[in-house]
Amino acid sequence: MPSFRFLHAADLHLDTPFAGLGRVAPHVQEALRDASLRAWDALIDLALDEEVAFVVLAGDLYDGADRGLRAQLRVRAGLQRLSDAGIAAFIVHGNHDPLDGWQAIDADGWPDGVVVCPSREVLSHEVVRDGVRLATLHGISYATRETTANLARRFPAASGGGLHVGVVHATVGTQPDHSPYAPCTIEDLRAAGYDYWGLGHVHGHDVLADDPVVAYSGSLQGRSPKRTEQGAKGALLVDVVDDRIAGRPRHVPLDLVRFVGLEVDLGEAAD
C-alpha cells in the first residue's frame, strides 16, 4: 500500500473576536481581526505543500450556530483549493457549530471531495486515490449544541482492511477546562478497532493514547490570554505507512497571534 499523510485540525472558531485584550493599537486590531482566517489559509497551504491525501476537521469550524458569512465564504474558498488539488475534506460539526445553525452554503454547494457528516448516524466514507482505497473515515456531527450523549459508542466496528479513522467532537475522560459534551472514554474509542481517532473540543493539542492513536489537534488560533488559549496552536500532520500510523502525529503551529503566560518577579523592583 502507498504511504501518505493526512491533516487533523479542529476548533477553528473562524472570524470570532478576541477576548480580554482591552484597547489595542489599530494595526494590532487588524491583525487580531483576521488571525483566525489567516490561520485557516495557512492550514490549506500546509495541506497543499505536504500533498496530504485528506484533511479531517473535527468540529467547531465556527464559533456559533449563526455562522458569519465571511467565515463561511473563506471556508468554502479553502475547501475549493483542496478540491482542485484532489485532496478530500471530511468534516464533523461540534457544539459551537451544530447542524441546526444557519448555513449560507447548502449541502449541494460544497466543492467535490468535501464530506460533511450528518447527526443521525455515523457516516463512513472511503478515500480512494488512483483506484486504491487509502482509508475509511468515520464521523458524526452534533444536531444541536447541547449534545451530551456518548457518540463514540455509535461508531461501527472497523470492517475490511486498510486504515480506519474516527472523527468526533467529544470530551474524552476528565477535561476540567471544557464542558462535558459527548463524553466518552479511551475504552469506548478502542472498541471500534480504528487506527486513529481525530478529536475536537479541547483547545490544547494532546495525544491521549498510542494504540490506537487518540489525539486532540487543539485549536488553530488562540483567542484570549486565558490558559487554555496560550501556546502554539495549529494542526496535526499524520504519516501512514503500510496502512498503519507511523510514529506520533507532528504538531505544526499555524497561529498568526500567540498568547503566552509570563511570571515576572517584582520583589526587587524600585518603588
Residue range 189-231, pLDDT digits in tens: 999 999 999 999 998 999 999 999 999 999 998 877 777 778 8
Half-sphere exposure (Cβ direction) of 38: Cα atoms closer than 13 Å = 11
Q: What is residue 21's predicted lDDT score, i.e. its pLDDT?
A: 59
Model pLDDT for residues 47-84, shown as the tens digit of each residue: 999 999 999 999 889 876 667 788 899 999 999 999 99
The answer to whether residue 87 scores a pLDDT higher than 70 is: yes
Rounded mean pLDDT, 173-196 = 88
pLDDT classification of 175: cutoffs 50, 70, 90: low
- What residues does each domain of the chain span? 4-253
Q: What is residue 178's predicted lDDT score, i.e. its pLDDT?
A: 65
The answer to whether residue 148 scores a pLDDT higher than 80 is: yes
Calculate Rg over the CA atoms of the chain. 19
Rounded mean pLDDT, 74-95 = 96
Q: What is residue 3's predicted lDDT score, i.e. its pLDDT?
A: 95
Residue predicted with more confidence, 62 or 15: 62
C-alpha to C-alpha distance for 256 and 153, rounded to whole angstroms = 37
Fold of the domain spanning 4-253: Purple Acid Phosphatase; chain A, domain 2 (3.60.21)
The answer to whether residue 20 scores a pLDDT higher than 60 is: no
C-alpha to C-alpha distance for 234 and 218, rounded to whole angstroms = 7
Q: What is residue 237's predicted lDDT score, i.e. its pLDDT?
A: 99
Q: What is residue 8's predicted lDDT score, i.e. its pLDDT?
A: 99
Q: Within 10 Å of residue 122's Cβ, how many Cβ atoms?
A: 21
β-bridge partners, 139 = 123, 167
Contacts of residue 265, defined as CB under 8 A and 6 or more positions apart, other chains included, come to none
Q: What are phi and psi of 28, to 5 degrees?
A: -75, -40
Half-sphere exposure (Cβ direction) of 144: Cα atoms closer than 13 Å = 4
